[in-house]
Structure 1
Amino acid sequence: MSVLSWMSVAVFLAAYTLIATEKVHRVAAALGGAGIMLLIHATGAQAAFFSEQSGIDWNVIFLLLGMMIIVGVLKQTGVFEYLAIWAAKRARGRPFRLMVLLVLITAAASALLDNVTTVLLIAPVTLLVCERLAVNVAPFLIAEALASNIGGAATLVGDPPNIIIASRGGLSFNDFLIHMAPMVIVLMVVFIGLCWLMFGRSFRYDPERAASIMELEEKEAIEDRRLLWQSLAVLVIVMAAFVLHPVLHYEPSVVALLGGGLLVAATRVTTSDAIAEVEWPTLVFFAGLFVMVGALVETGVIGRLSQAAVAGTDGRLELTTMGLLGGSAVLSAIVDNIPYVATMSPIVEQLVQSTGGAGQGQVLWWALAFGADLGGNATAVGAAANVVILGIAARNGTPISFWQFTKYGLIVTAVTVPMVAPYLWLRYLL
């Protein structure tokens, strides 16, 4: 490789290390790395901002932006508080039943929204309900983070790595529903059993506390009924447009932006309120990350890694698939699965082309998605939702340590990832 190639690798590894160790805020690390890549001419303005192969993936950025606007408006209605109180009452104050309902709500919401947004909305209400029941909130928050990563794997918009994979692989919302969702349902059933083994036996039922929960009125949580119905209507339209992509031919990013714009235009929500909940640091982080990865493409590093991967697996699809599944799970446990997938997706794209193209070779995309999404559960830094949960817990005086989270996350990952291997084998490789 050329000197410039080695320099770009060094810059990328340095930024990656800062992101993984959290020595520097990940946005600063990504922007700093992107700036240095531009400074040393590893990439340029044309490639970074306009190239489909090595530039910022604006489809990912605008899809996230549109969904964040929709969720920001939906949050103002109080519907998430309604769901939490409803779940607590349906569980009749019994802690494990409550955990199961909250886990299912989190997983389902993570499939429709993104998992980071879901835990941001569910966690504060969980804190309130657990305080009323006088039970330890840590198991609930940990279970919700793990469930959000599993449930988010089911759809294109559920987990940020899936958005990157869909954009790079030319995959639709329906592709994820068909190929990912069936296995995610099985994994959620198993996960609920794991929750009982890990947490359920330690819970104690308090009849007096349960009675106080039953006195709550969930309807009072809804602050604006008209806005709620308007938001739900737009969300249904957006989901329908995702599913009807083969007919409508609108990209998910366009659908999300149109949905967010329609919701702001058709309701009394002001523009400032609508964008107040947008996670701008997340969007900027993605942009910086794409520029860094694009520099590796421009300098030929990604191409060489792809050739090495093809040579190492000798073109055998079975070996490549299982290696990608296991390797993605391990690496996503060590570093955040978002930068990992952003780095691997151009490599997998070339692997897919070399092992069957959009037909049989497409299994490699599902191996990458499952490995990254489920591997992100293994440690407290493996997925963005995990980091968010730990931050919420710390701010509310119930800190969860890195190892407290990780000891449960490792168990869930060790059970769920091996379950995916026979699914991929029987459905795509046999």
Structure 2
Amino acid sequence: MNIQLITLIALVVAIFIGFKRKVNTGLVGIAFAYVVGYYIAGMSAKEIYVSGFPTKLFIILLGMTLLFSIAKVNGTLELIARKVSAMAGGNTKLLPIFFFIMCTVIAAAGPGPIVVPALMLPIAMEVAKEEDISDLLMATIVIAGSLAGGLSPLSPSGIIASNLAAEAGVTNYTPIFISVILTSTLQAIVFYFAFGGHKLKGRATKEKATIQFNKEQLQTVVVILLVIVAILIFKQDIGMTAFLGAAVLLLLSPKVQKDAIANVPWPTLLLIAGVAILVNVVKVSGGIDALSTFLAGIMSKQTAPAIMAIMGGLMSSVSSASGVVMPTLIPTVNGIVEQMGGTITASSLISGIVVGAHVVTYSPLSTLGALAMASSTDRVDKEKFFAKLLALGFGSILFAALLGFIGLYR
């Protein structure tokens, strides 16, 4: 048995053990990463945790969860949730649709598919708790909306995709963007019905609409809005800006510090970081490359967009869609088109790559899924939620592949 297969099996077994034994999968992942990485793959202990620890993602998650933990402790988040709920006029069925549209529009305007969920998921998940909406429904709807608009030519991810496409000779980016919009919208529709959005019942909103914020809560709202403006308008770092906002709020009201820090979802952060360390061992050992090579060997003109979506999704599950997957795979499309005698277009292959690289982000191993985990309320069983998001993430790769196979990306 080669090392690539061993590491892939280790990843699957670690996730299964954590879920089955109800032990934090992050702890199991770190243990497996050390055993497999050090004793089998020949990695040093330092290489395992330094290169594998998701520092940027961890800072984003910790900063945002601390900021919104303060808002939760002082009651601000609950009141915001009630105000947002009141906007539906008592028709709870409209709330997921409202969040989908709002996230799509905001993401398309420039922030992209990472910033919007970081800002909206904590509020959306609190709304879900307040209105008794499925946490899985609200999380997937927010992510779907953020992806639908997040690949616009105005957003960072869209700019990267369109520039890489232009370098590959595809100057018309519109079909690629439309492929992303259609895929995410179709997924949102499926999620809406699959997770009970159509069964939601209206609730009274009169009391919610008249609720007023106190001084401390108003300060919290102002600071959160300033953080949002700094991130969206002035392109400041998400995690560090969130830490700055949290520090200001704690200076204004030191009494909430203990409870705010205690309410940070530390088990979730450990789970995400631990699994990421193990995934990095799989990546360094060549496990992901082995899977991609296998898929490339079974490609035909009918399956090419689907295979590219699968390759993009698998690579993106362990690396950055914008920083690694698209820059790696998009430059290969002209060679593939040439090998296939021009029977497939570069645009359809690029659409498959871009869509596949982003739909996997429902997985808690990816940024948006991790944000959903971190934003989930205390009523959520974290291990089960992790497993469901993981299944949705990799199921979404198959969904994207199916759309590519039936010709949507062409």
Please give the range of the TM-score, normalised by the shorter of the 2 chains.
Answer: 0.5 to 0.7
**C-alpha distance in structure 2 between counterparts of 1:390 and 1:62, whole Å:** 20
How far is 1:97 from its partner?
A: 4.1
* Contact 2:85/2:127 (8 A) holds in 1: no
How far is 1:369 from its partner?
A: 3.4
Q: Which residue of structure 2 lines up, in the alignment, with residue 392 of structure 1?
A: 379
Q: Which residue of structure 1 lines up, in the alignment, with residue 287 of structure 2?
A: 301
Q: Which residue of structure 2 lines up, in the alignment, with residue 151 of structure 1?
A: 145
Q: Which residue of structure 2 lines up, in the alignment, with residue 239 of structure 1?
A: 232
* Contact 1:75/1:121 (8 A) holds in 2: no
Q: Which residue of structure 1 lines up, in the alignment, with residue 59 of structure 2?
A: 62
**C-alpha distance in structure 2 between counterparts of 1:415 and 1:303, whole Å:** 18
How far is 1:49 from its partner?
A: 3.9
Q: Which residue of structure 1 lines up, in the alignment, with residue 47 of structure 2?
A: 47
Q: Which residue of structure 2 lines up, in the alignment, with residue 342 of structure 1?
A: 318
* Contact 1:328/1:371 (8 A) holds in 2: no
Name which of 298, 305, 311 aligns with 1:321. 305
Cα deviation, 1:52-80, whole Å, max 9, x if unaligned, reads: xxx33433333333333343344456554
Superposition pairs of residues 73-88 of structure 1, within 5 angstroms: 73-75=70-72, 78-88=75-85
The alignment status of 1:283 with 2:269, answered yes or no, reads: yes
Superposition pairs of residues 15-414 of structure 1, within 5 angstroms: 15-19=14-18, 23-42=22-41, 43-51=43-51, 55-75=52-72, 78-97=75-94, 100-101=97-98, 121-128=123-130, 130=131, 137=132, 141=135, 143-154=137-148, 172=157, 175=160, 183-184=180-181, 187-188=184-185, 191=188, 195=192, 210=204, 213-221=205-213, 223-242=216-235, 255-267=237-249, 268=252, 270=254, 275-313=261-299, 319-325=303-309, 341-342=317-318, 351-352=329-330, 354-355=332-333, 363=351, 365-373=353-361, 385=372, 392=379
**C-alpha distance in structure 2 between counterparts of 1:300 and 1:413, whole Å:** 23
Residues 74/108 of structure 1: CA separation in 2 closer, same or farther (3 Å cut)? farther
Cα deviation, 1:314-370, whole Å, max 9, x if unaligned, reads: 6x6x844323546888x9xxxxxxx9812897888755554459x977645423234
Three-state SS of the structure 2 residue aligned to 1:224 is helix
* Contact 1:73/1:269 (8 A) holds in 2: no
Residues 182/228 of structure 1: CA separation in 2 closer, same or farther (3 Å cut)? farther
* Contact 2:104/2:149 (8 A) holds in 1: no
**C-alpha distance in structure 2 between counterparts of 1:219 and 1:47, whole Å:** 53
**C-alpha distance in structure 2 between counterparts of 1:106 and 1:351, whole Å:** 28
Unmatched 5+ stretches in structure 2:
108-112, 163-172, 336-345
**C-alpha distance in structure 2 between counterparts of 1:185 and 1:218, whole Å:** 38
Letter in 2 for 1:34: A
TM-score by length of 1: 0.60
* Contact 1:84/1:122 (8 A) holds in 2: yes
Q: Which residue of structure 2 lines up, in the alignment, with residue 336 of structure 1?
A: none
* Contact 2:30/2:274 (8 A) holds in 1: yes
How far is 1:121 from its partner?
A: 4.5
* Contact 1:33/1:292 (8 A) holds in 2: yes
Q: Which residue of structure 2 lines up, in the alignment, with residue 249 of structure 1?
A: none
Three-state SS of the structure 2 residue aligned to 1:308 is helix
Residues 86/416 of structure 1: CA separation in 2 closer, same or farther (3 Å cut)? farther
Q: What CA RMSD, in Å, does the superposition of the two structures yield over aligned residues?
A: 5.4
Identity %: 17
Residues 84/33 of structure 1: CA separation in 2 closer, same or farther (3 Å cut)? same
* Contact 1:26/1:285 (8 A) holds in 2: yes
Letter in 2 for 1:36: V
How far is 1:259 from its partner?
A: 0.5
TM-score by length of 2: 0.63
**C-alpha distance in structure 1 between counterparts of 2:128 and 2:290, whole Å:** 48
Aligned length: 362
Residues 328/5 of structure 1: CA separation in 2 closer, same or farther (3 Å cut)? closer
* Contact 1:95/1:203 (8 A) holds in 2: yes
Residues 306/231 of structure 1: CA separation in 2 closer, same or farther (3 Å cut)? same
